[in-house]
Amino acid sequence: MSFLHRITLEPGVCHGQPIIQGTRYPVALLVDLLRAGVTADEVLTDCPGLTREDLVAAMMYATLLTTPEKNRAATGFDCGPADHPTSVGSPSELRR
């Protein structure tokens, strides 16, 4: 199941960084917190309005950006139109 529809880019919010839809929480911040060892429960306590699905979406998005396109289908994160929000664009567009 994909939660990528929860990720959006809004030019006037957080300098256009990818955020969790309906919030001002940048995906990069959430991924950095989890990478630093903050637990999901701690993030959810400190960030009102976030859900576990939002954290999964942030990690899925980070995976998409760091997985070479040729390996994406093998990871289960093949970035087809049904799986990837049109507001964000394809990962290859984001790297430009």
Q: Where residue 75 falls among pLDDT bands split at 50, 70, 90?
A: low
Going by their DSSP bridges, the two strands 18-20 and 7-9 should be labelled as: antiparallel
Q: Reply yes or no on whether the pLDDT at 20 is more than 90.
A: yes
- Residue length of the chain: 96
Residue range 23-71, pLDDT digits in tens: 999 999 999 999 999 999 999 999 999 999 999 999 999 988 887 776 5
Q: What is the pTM of this model?
A: 0.69
Instruction: From residue 59, give the alpha-carbon distance in Å to each of 6, 12, 35, 69, 75.
Output: 12, 23, 10, 17, 13
Please tell me the distance from the alpha carbon of residue 82 to that of residue 47, in angstroms, as a whole number.
28
d(CA 95, CA 67): 12
CATH 1.10.10.10 fits 4-85, yes or no: yes
Has residue 74 got a pLDDT over 80? no
